[in-house]
Structure 1
Amino acid sequence: MKIEHYISQLLYRHQCVTVPGFGAFLTEIQSAHLHENTNSFYPPKKVISFNSHLKNNDGLLANHIAQIEKSTYENAVASIESEVVIWNSILQVNEKFTLKNIGELSLNSEKNLVFTPSENINYLKESFGLNSFVSPAIKREQYKQEAETFYKEEFVEEVAVEEKETIAFEPEVRKKRSYLKYAAIIVLALSATGSIGFKLYQDHIDQETLLVETAVQKQVQNKIQEATFLIDNTLPTVTLTVTSEKLSYHIVAGAFRNEENAQNVYNDLLKSGFKARRIAPNKHGLFPVLYGSYATNAEAQEAMTKIHETNPDAWLLVKAL
């Protein structure tokens, strides 16, 4: 039985899918991001990782296979064990193999499992239909430089024209005029008096009009500055509700058929300094006891490393309690 198809189905809905006796595939949401060098935009996605230390059977994969295949839980567990034997055999011979739509598993020089996730599929349901795309760069700076160059050239040309058109004034050499020339000038001045007087009168009218308009504008500005804007309807009060951080990652110390044994282990963990918890019995009638609960997978993995030094059978439960 090829179980990678069932693992792929579960990765859409769960953050951790454990293959008993082999390891666990974990997912973490990555926000949308931009690759600046290529101007590429990528939608949000689930990033898949692999942890070879999480091998305990949490029942998720076996129950899913049993439900889909309409078989018993025991037959599903047996099918998983058989597939794990095949995977290990392939690794010993080829040192790598690929799980469709999940990724590639290989052995490094130290014979440790290395996982390379597949980029062909996005397990984040909220990003369905969103693909990456490349946006051409906007050349604002280039246009700005071209505009500056244009205005500089225009300015240089104007300055050159002004320099060429500079008029040199030479002082007038006054000469003695005869009385006849002065008489002719007086006659011309008298003939022009009418037009000059009208021009002075028109200038006076324009000046008076400008003074009136300036005074009116000043009064309008004073009224605007003195104006008071009133808001009749006050804005509604905003109430902020602070919610506590969800702790969805739990390290399980064990699940006990006898509740008294579960309570004894719980008390021992509290004495050892752990923030131990007891949760409701599972569907098999067992009483789980937790070392503690954590907000992120990274915190849980860090705590798991220390706990495995004294209890290698401890395992990670990903569930909103």
Structure 2
Amino acid sequence: MQLETYISDLLYRYDCVIIPQFGAFLTHRVSARVHETTHSFYPPKKALSFNEQLQTNDGLLANYIAEVEKVPYLVAVEKIAKHVKSIKSYLVAGETIAFHNIGDLILNTEGNINFEPSHHINYLTDAFGLSQFTSSDISRELHKEQVEAIEDVIPLTITSEKRKNRPYLKYAAIAIIALTLGGFTASKFYVNQIETQNQLAQEAANQQLDIKVQEATFVIDNPLPAVTLSVEKPSGNYHIVAGAFRIEANSDKKVQQLRDQGYTALKIGKNRYGLHEVVYSSHTDRLEALKALRTIKRTHNREAWLLVKALD
């Protein structure tokens, strides 16, 4: 039994997955951050940890295994217990237990389990499509400090008497003021150029992200004219997603196609990328939704997936 596969599936949707009589994998959200030394930008993510004290069976993992493997709940519980017993024996023998895409477990000298999380996967669905990138350092000339230094060396205070006797000082002062203003203007222009360049780079990155998201959805080459559908309000927080469309007419067409095939297809609004989401159905019961998802994957669309989202 690939226990880590089931745990990994659940970590996308839940913040705590308990392995009965062993411990629990926990997640907490970490905001996006910038490394000041390497100038690397990291997207938000779910950070993983392990708590050996949480061992009481809450039914989540066992129910999921029972549904996926089509076995009774008690059989799933027995399978977990047998797997946990095997894991503990390996830990006692000093071996490291590697949970794929989750992390490594090892027993320390005090008899407690140490956990080293894996960084190969981000379980935060809100950060889908976002990856780490590095930006080059931007150096700016400090024109203001240079002007202040010039003013300290060459003061601009000129008396009337000096202007009468030595008029060339007037032109020298005008020249210095012009140079100072020119320095400020050049500095402002330089900073504006940098900000404009950064804005263009950000827009290009956003455009690339939109293209990737659009490529990951259903694409209809010949959209029909917009039609008006009478769609009932979806109920439940578990939605089996059929696709997402940038053009609303395409989403209407997809809803009609699925309804013609016997599905209770609905539109559930726009996602964070502005795409119109279409679902096969919505469910109030998680197990019922998982069962329907497996059927759709097997008979109609292997790319369908389960979205857990409370609708307004």
**Normalised by the size of structure 2, how large is the TM-score?**
0.46
The structure that has the greater radius of gyration is: 1
